[in-house]
Amino acid sequence: MAPVSFTTDTVNGALVVTVTCPNYVESGMVSIWNGSTFYNALYTGQNPTVIMDNVLPGQYSISVSASATGYRSATVSRRVIAHASTQMILPAFATVIEEEAFSGSAAVEIVLPDQCTTIGDGAFANCAQLRMIYMPDSVVNIAGNAFNGSEKVIFLCESDNAAAAYARNKGIDYIIE
């Protein structure tokens, strides 16, 4: 699938997310993380505008996914301001953690969903407070610099999986549950 992108704005106190996607996209989801809560909105059709009036602008990460019959789903994520929450439990649809998605986050503990397969460049870089991240067996692709600067992180691995091998290779402590 061709790239998906988005822009944000605030109008009358509401966060407005405008999605740009290929003309064959049938539907998708906009998800916003404000540090403690996920807000989700489904959309259909081409280049939709999603208005989310229950989100405080300025303190969020946004993830936009798109799907179309016969194509793999596409997802794009962007961190806007570092998170304030100490624990993040990512939703099941977070199959790809995009480049720098949570870089600089203040999270202490992160739980990746069992459907997550990929962690992008710098996705959890410079997370000085990060102590533990749950790594399910589904995670098979981890960028070499995904955890740069996150010196205190420990991987909690489901088994001796790809994440455990990555941890061994990078000198990151890990536990197999």
- 87 and 104, same domain (yes or no): yes
Of 16-20, 92-96, 97-101, 167-171, the one with minimum mean pLDDT is 16-20
Clarify whether residues 101 and 90 are in a common domain: yes
Local confidence band at 20 (pLDDT 50, 70, 90 cut-offs) = confident
Residue 67 belongs to what domain range?
1-81
Half-sphere exposure of residue 50, counting CA atoms within 13 Å on the CB side? 28
Query: Alpha carbon of 9 to those of 64, 66, 99, 103: distances in Å?
Result: 15, 20, 22, 22
The amino acid sitting at 23 is N
Q: How many residues does the chain have?
A: 177
Distance CA 81, CA 25 (A): 29
pLDDT tens for 31-67 read 776 666 677 777 776 666 666 655 554 556 677 777 7
49 or 89, higher pLDDT: 89
The reported pTM is 0.58
- CATH number of the domain at 9, please: 2.60.40.10
23, pLDDT greater than 60? yes
pLDDT, one tens digit per residue, over 129-169 is 889 999 999 999 999 999 999 999 999 999 999 999 999 99
Of 81, 98, 131, which closes a domain? 81
Type of residue numbered 53: D
What is the bridge-based pairing of β-strands 141-142 and 118-119? parallel
8 and 73 inside one domain:
yes
Q: How sure is the predictor about 171, in pLDDT bands with cuts at 50, 70 and 90? A: very high
Let me know if 49 is exposed, middle or buried by CB neighbors in 10 A (0-12, 13-18, 19+).
middle
User: 108 and 66 share a domain?
Assistant: no
